[in-house]
Chains A and B, each alone.
Chain A
Amino acid sequence: DQQVKQNSPSLSVQEGRISILNCDYTNSMFDYFLWYKKYPAEGPTFLISISSIKDKNEDGRFTVFLNKSAKHLSLHIVPSQPGDSAVYFCAALFEGATNKLIFGTGTLLAVQP
């Protein structure tokens, strides 16, 4: 059973506009949510995270919003740049003995110049 879901396989956005990537989860006990970015033939790289006790975290052009009642989080990228084109994975974890990441299936973002 998929605990973390990304229902949009792909998204295309014009350069300079906002990109919004969405993620839904089923387990309300997750402690952290994270976004990873992945270029082809490279490993995922950490982008931004949010604790389950927060509802917003911002880092430069990247903001993550968490709606616990809806079990939904989103990543906003403003303004979008061509270099942002990549696969974005949403992930969640329970803080504790393992801290293993539970990933969604990813969304391919294409930012058009």
Chain B
Amino acid sequence: GAGVSQSPRYKVAKRGQDVALRCDPISGHVSLFWYQQALGQGPEFLTYFQNEAQLDKSGLPSDRFFAERPEGSVSTLKIQRTQQEDSAVYLCASSFSGSDYNEQFFGPGTRLTVL
């Protein structure tokens, strides 16, 4: 399949642990987005990459959250010293173009549970 993939699909962490969530976007897609979806809520924007450049990180909730996309393809969202309020589904999406609006294709998400 040529869709967006994310790994792991499920992650359980003890409070205070660091976690890394991976996103493989659709090949050739310039734009990559991370969203956080808390239980019973809609997805909320975290950060945006155009190729390897992180152009918007206004949605990252704290400095414990860090994202990178070093080669303009795979992206990793890292959460340091996880807290219970970080428990959510983390969704990655990619789209073909940068500046013009293009459909965003979502991955299945990583469900993070912090105990």
Question: A-side interface residues toward B, CB under 8 Å?
Answer: 4, 6, 31-32, 36, 41-46, 89, 91, 93, 95-106
Contact = CB atoms under 8 A, between A and B. Distances in A.
A45 B48 CA distance: 19
A5 to B, nearest CB: 10
Interface of B: 4, 31, 33, 35, 40-45, 48, 55-56, 59, 91, 93, 95, 99-109
Contacts of B109: 43
B100 A95 contact: yes
Given A97-B56, A99-B95, A105-B40, A46 B101 contact: no
A103 B46 CA distance: 12
B101 A44 contact: no
Contacts of B108: 41-43
B101 A95 contact: yes
A63 to B, nearest CB: 19
Contact of B43 (A89, A93, A96): A89
21 contacts: A6-B42, A31-B101, A42-B108, A43-B91, A43-B106, A43-B107, A44-B43, A44-B91, A44-B106, A45-B106, A46-B104, A89-B42, A97-B55, A97-B56, A98-B56, A99-B102, A99-B104, A100-B56, A101-B33, A101-B35, A106-B41
